[in-house]
Amino acid sequence: MRILVGWDDIAEAELIDTFLNVDENIAMVFTDPDGLMRAATSEDFDAVLMDLTFPTESTAFELFETVRRRMPNAPVVGAWRPGEISQVAKFIKNGLHSFISRDESGDFVFLLTSIMEAAFLTVQAQRAQIVAEKLREEVEAVRQLQEAVLPHDLPMPAGYGIVARYEPSQIRVFGDRPVVMAGGDYYDVFNMEGNEVVIVLGDAAGHGVKACMSIMTMHTLISMIRDRRFSDTADFVMEVNRRLCNSDVISADQGGFITLLYCTLNAVTHRFEWTSAGHPMPLLQDLTTNEIHKLGSKEEGGLPLIIDEDWEYEKCEIQVPPNCRILLYTDGLDEAFPQDGKEEEQFGEKGIIATLKDTIDLPIADVLDRLFQDSHDATRGSGRHDDTSVVLLERRD
């Protein structure tokens, strides 16, 4: 810590110089106002110590205000003699950080190092709090932008039910207040021409603002081309991949890849078609037998987007059987684990299947609640460390 000192007593100034120049502290002590002002103008200091009658009682306040203007970020600690307390109020009103009494025996000198360090640390904490508040506001603005693109009214084709939810990753703390982070997950459910419903899930690498902006870029692209007719889901995903690879916004070299699951459902023919770009495959639950199995293989999942512009993705399809559920999710759901836990302790696909089986008789909205709750419980209170999106589809007949 660098300390600037202005003092009216030469003997005390020498003692102060000795006591403040310890450890990593550097103090420059002046008994003349001109030297003090030259130092204040030409060098940087973390804190200032001033006798409140320096250089004289009548000019001390003017000097104090000049120092404050030239070093607005450095806390000023004032020293006053007994009987001068009436003068301190004016200094405090105009920005004096704190003050110490100069006892006649000079014992106050022994306290100066601690007082100056405390003043410096207090100001540092205040600045950190201001920065944290600004960061909190910016993160909140981005998070609200992300939530604004999530659908609120899901299409409900005849004979089917659909529920969906997004939750950001674990609450982080900036300063002493919590803030919900912007995330890198995304889902959308919308109608196409005829009886076709489209379900999209995306997951950008990482968390926070960067991941959120990657997802927003993909959402904008999908919105631009979603009304075009594509031969199948694989053709659509390949077009999205090509366009993102040629975009300057996201770079795989900087960890900017995205996983994507793009699905279509024809509610009349019950044909369910999907293509995965590195995304977890759907799970199908037979509500008659309570058997659950994964739709598609890891090999059919393909690479995440923005890695290989020419990658050829695969189309998968099934006829949706009567009385079943299909679960689509991002890996934040299954990769929930305790803060200090091991990978084998994560909620996992096994946990997802257990919850689905346990909730077979519940409405799908309640099933969705249980999936999020059981996944969170697996973290033992630390919260999921990744953003999580889930879409649950049910054929009711």
What is the structure's pLDDT at 256? 72
What is the structure's pLDDT at 280? 94
Q: Kindly report the pTM of this predicted structure.
A: 0.68
136, 256, 265, 339 from 216: Cα distances, Å: 20, 12, 24, 29
What is the structure's pLDDT at 251? 62
Query: What are the structure tokens assigned to 80, written together?
Result: 């006053």
What is the structure's pLDDT at 380? 84
What is the structure's pLDDT at 78? 93
Q: pLDDT tens string for the chain (397 positions)?
A: 999 999 999 999 999 999 999 888 999 999 999 999 999 999 999 999 999 989 998 899 999 999 999 999 999 999 988 776 677 888 999 999 998 988 888 889 999 999 999 999 999 888 888 877 776 776 677 667 767 778 888 988 999 999 999 988 755 554 455 555 666 888 999 998 778 999 999 999 876 677 777 888 888 898 889 888 788 999 999 999 999 998 876 665 555 789 999 999 999 999 999 999 999 999 999 999 999 999 988 777 889 999 999 999 999 999 999 999 999 999 999 988 887 766 678 899 999 999 999 999 999 999 999 999 999 999 887 778 788 999 999 998 7
User: What is the rounded CA–CA span in Å between residue 223 and residue 241?
Assistant: 14
What is the structure's pLDDT at 255? 59
What is the structure's pLDDT at 127? 85
Helices marked H in the chain: 10-20, 33-42, 60-70, 85-93, 112-148, 208-225, 233-245, 298-301, 348-358, 364-377
What is the structure's pLDDT at 175? 47
Give the phi and the psi of residue 237 in degrees, each rounded to 5. Answer: -65, -40
User: What is the rounded CA–CA span in Å between residue 348 and residue 60?
Assistant: 69
User: What is the rounded CA–CA span in Å between residue 270 and residue 372?
Assistant: 28
